[in-house]
Amino acid sequence: MTITIPAGKASAHVDFDLTPTDDDLDEDDETISITGSSRSLTFTNTSVTITDDDDKPVLSIADATATEGGTVSFTISLDAVSGRDVKVNWNTADDGSEGADQATADTDYTAVTTATEVTIAAGSRSAIVTVTTKEDALDEPNET
C-alpha cells in the first residue's frame, strides 16, 4: 500500500480493514506490526493487538486402577486443545470419602506431597503422571 503525503502537510491518513480469523483455539493475544519506510521521512511504526476471546480448556483426571507393588498412571486431560503449554500442579492425597477401603499414603502408595508440575504441550490434549503402589501381605478389599 502506498500513502502519499502532500507537499506542505505533516501527515496523511489511510483507512484499511483488518479482519482477524476467528478460531476456537485458546491462545495468547497476538500482535500485528504495521511498518513503513520513506527515503526522506521518519516513519513511526505501530501495532495492533488481537485479543484472544476463546475459553480456556477444562482439566480432568481419569480414574485408574493398579495392583499392589506396581505403578498406576493417571491421565490429565484437556477438553479442548490449547494453543499454549498448560502447566498443571498435582499431588496425591488420601480419599476420605471411601471409609475403611481407603488407600493410605506411604502404606499403600508412595505419597507425592509437594506440588509436582506436569506440562500438557501446546497442541496436545493430555499428559500422564505416575504413582507407585506398595506391596503388603494383608488380605483386604480394593482401596482408593
The reply to whether 38 falls in a domain is: no
Amino acid 17: pLDDT: 87
Q: Residue 83 falls within a domain, yes or no?
A: yes
List for the chain the helix, strand, coil content (%; round to 5): 5, 30, 65
Question: Which domain range does residue 71 map to?
Answer: 59-132
Name every residue whose Cβ is closer than 8 Å to that of residue 85 and which is 6 or more positions away in sequence: 119, 120, 121, 122
> Does residue 2 fall inside a structural domain?
no
The total domain count for the chain is: 1
**Residue 139 forms part of a structural domain:** no
* In-domain check, residue 6: no
Q: What is the full per-residue pLDDT of the chain (144 aa) written as tens digits?
A: 778 888 888 778 888 888 888 888 899 899 999 888 888 777 788 899 999 998 899 999 999 988 899 999 999 999 999 999 999 999 999 877 756 678 888 989 999 999 999 999 999 999 999 999 998 777 666 665
Give the Å distances, CA to CA, from 138 to 4, 36, 108, 143. Answer: 87, 77, 11, 12
